[in-house]
């Protein structure tokens, strides 16, 4: 690593690919979501806000950095 990579801060937040446990729909959500996130197909709750990181209620398929 160069010294410049140490000086540039990396974000701690990530986008997540989450699979709905009810219908199987896959959806991309923000890991630090500040609002309730629902499935666009069936309306099931995928994540709830907790003040910092969201509480993910679906199955996490992939993490995008």
**Residue-by-residue DSSP string for 2-42:** -HHHHHSPPPS--EEEEE-TTT--EEEEETT-SS-EE-TTT
> For residue 2, is pLDDT > 70?
no
In a domain, 6, yes or no: no
5 phi, psi to nearest 5 deg: -65, -30
Q: Which of 12, 19, 10 is nearest to 56 (CA)?
A: 19
Q: Tokens representing 36? A: 């309730």
User: Residue 12's pLDDT is what?
Assistant: 83
pLDDT tens for 4-61 read: 667 878 888 899 999 999 999 999 999 999 999 999 999 999 999 998 889 999 999 9
Prediction pTM value: 0.77
CATH number, domain containing residue 42: 2.20.25.100
In a domain, 1, yes or no: no
Domain holding 58, by residue range, is 11-64
> How many domains does the chain contain in total?
1
CA distance 42 to 32: 22
In a domain, 18, yes or no: yes
């Amino acid at each position: 690593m160069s010294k410049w990579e140490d000086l540039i801060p990396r974000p701690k937040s990530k986008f997540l690919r989450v699979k709905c446990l009810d219908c199987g729909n896959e959806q991309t959500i923000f890991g630090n979501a500040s609002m309730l996130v629902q499935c666009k197909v069936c309306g099931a709750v995928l994540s709830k806000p907790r003040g910092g990181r969201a509480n993910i209620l679906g199955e996490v398929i992939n993490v995008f950095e």
